[in-house]
Amino acid sequence: MDYKQQVGVQSHVEQMGSVEDRSMDDLDDECLHSPGTDARKTQASDSNRQIPFSDQQLPLSDGFPIVGNKMVRNRIYQSIKTVVFSNKLNLLMPFGPLAILVHKLTASNGWVFFLSLLGITPLAERLGYATEQLAFFTGPTVGGLLNATFGNATELIISIYALKSGMIRVVQLSLLGSILSNMLLVLGCAFFCGGLVYHRKEQVFNKATAVVNSGLLLMAVMGLLFPAVLHYTHTERRVGKSELSLSRFSSCIMLVAYAAYLFFQLRSQNDHYSPINEEGSTHGDNSDNDEDEAPEISKWESMIWLTILTAWISILSDYLVDTIQGASEAWDLSIAFISVILLPIIGNAAEHASAIMFAMKDKLDISLGVAIGSSTQISMFGIPFCVVIGWMMGREMDLNFQLFETATLFITVIVVAFFLQEGTSNYFKGLMLILCYLIVAASFFAHEDPTSTDQKKQP
């Protein structure tokens, strides 16, 4: 009996132990799968994972995220500091509001024109900066299209406002002046300053890019030449209509050609259009410029700044166009001289400075992109675009830039093409281009535009 009782007790204890073990396991399982434990596990795993700023739950005080507001304010401050206060040229920005104030208080068109011109100068440079920053996030193809669109946005905005006011001649002369200024003055100063810094050697640039740009410029001259020849030879089939129809057709062809050029440059010939070094080989190592290639502002900041700067340039362009006639009378200067010489020099001062700076750093390919590339944009995109926009507005803008202006552009393109054909530069070439620009400036100072004279004689 004792033995059986002992065995029974032992078996009973083992059963109780197994039950207790199962109950403990079940209890552990319940604890492991309880909501509190799941939450703690989730918090523990989340704490080890970095959460984006937009997904974080920020502490609230009176319903507002304190940390979020602080970070937003700091971001806005940094963006304004980077875009507005990082360039000494932005010291001219207050002249824009001052021009509006002078226009409201006085009737001095000369001062309003001059102050508006000074106020637009830093805005044009910052517009190019914002475009470059946005291009970091869009890739080379879209970035190239952005640069083509906003590269000369200031000239296009001024031209559109002039078209709206019916000042077709101002549009033609200002766009022509930008081409002449970039090809002679900007490129000449870049060659001259770069040649003085590197006077013991000849600076080298990509000859293929220069040749293609020269060909496009000659094509633009051809587009401007035929309407002028048609007009002055009096060989129109329909007087007053054939010239305009030819201009609009040629403008569409030029826009197609420029779009094909962009595709060719950005897709088909990437290797052929990379900067070259002294030995003529392409640069494959950009490690030295990694810091320069990092974006300074975000994509959305770039888009916001593009919108703000474009709107502000549009406002000042309206005042600029409205006062150009009064400035011509106040300063006793022809509209042709103001449009061809003064507007491009002051309005494109930022591009001039950047081209010279890159040439002094022995980066002539970038200088050529600023000078010749900008001239190509205006001649193959800006001028035809204004013809098409005028067509939509009901304005009869054509490609007949008159005989004197067309001849000036033709000779300028030929001279610059000869200087670029070797693929090298020195300070003497730069000096020759600057002297050529002085001859052009003196010619327009002595030139009286017949179209402006006829407009003055009309009642």
Of 247, 221, 228, the closest CA to residue 411 belongs to: 221
Q: What is the pLDDT of residue 196?
A: 92
Closest CA to 373 of 250, 265, 283, 280: 265
Whether the CB-CB separation of 396 and 150 falls below 8 Å is answered with no
Residue found under tokens 């309880």: 34
Rounded CA gap, 160 and 163, in Å? 5
pTM: 0.75
Cα 261 from Cα 266, distance rounded (Å) = 8
pLDDT of residue 281: 42
Whole-number pLDDT of residue 459: 39
Query: Where do the DSSP E strands lie in 22-150?
Result: 60-61, 64-65
What letter would DSSP give residue 424? Answer: E
11 contacts: CB under 8 Å, gap ≥ 6: none
Cβ atoms of 450 and 402 closer than 8 Å = yes
Structure tokens given for 265: 């440059």
pLDDT of residue 135: 78
DSSP letters for 178-238: HHHIIIIIIHHHHHHHHHHHTTTS-EE--HHHHHHHHHHHHHHHHHHHHHHHHHHTT--SS
Asked if residue 142 lies in contact with residue 295, where contact means CB atoms within 8 angstroms, the answer is no
Closest CA to 182 of 411, 421, 377: 377
DSSP 324: H
Q: Which helix (H) or strand (E) holds 68?
A: helix 66-83
For the chain (459 residues), the mean pLDDT of every run of 10, in chain order, is 46 46 46 44 43 42 58 85 84 91 88 90 84 78 65 83 90 93 92 90 86 91 92 83 92 94 72 42 43 76 89 89 88 90 78 83 86 89 94 91 93 93 91 95 89 47
Q: What is the pLDDT of residue 278?
A: 38
User: Alpha helix (H) ranges present in 323-422?
Assistant: 324-331, 335-337, 343-347, 349-360, 364-377, 383-393, 403-420
CB 367 within 8 A of CB 194: yes
Distance from C-alpha of 381 to C-alpha of 378, rounded to nearest angstrom: 5
Question: Measured in whole angstroms, how far is the alpha carbon of residue 372 from the centre of its chain?
Answer: 15
What is 231-289 written as a DSSP string?
HHTT--SSTTTHHHHHHHHHHHHHHHHHHHHHHIIIIITTGGGS-B-TTSPBP---GGG
By CB atoms closer than 10 A (0-12, 13-18, 19+), residue 15 is exposed
Cα dihedral 382, 388, 391, 396, rounded to 10, equals 40
3-class state of residue 88 by DSSP: helix
What pLDDT, on the 0 to 100 scale, is given for residue 272?
44
Pairwise CA distance, residues 208 & 368, whole Å: 12
How high is the pLDDT of residue 16?
Answer: 47
Q: What pLDDT does residue 143 have?
A: 67
Domains of the chain: 77-272+296-446 (1.20.1420.30)
CA-CA-CA-CA dihedral for 109, 110, 115, 117, to nearest 10? 100
Please count the helices (runs of H) and the strands (runs of E) in the chain: 21, 4
Separation between Cα atoms, residue 361 and residue 371, nearest integer Å: 16
| CA–CA gap between residue 160 and residue 134 (Å, rounded) | 24
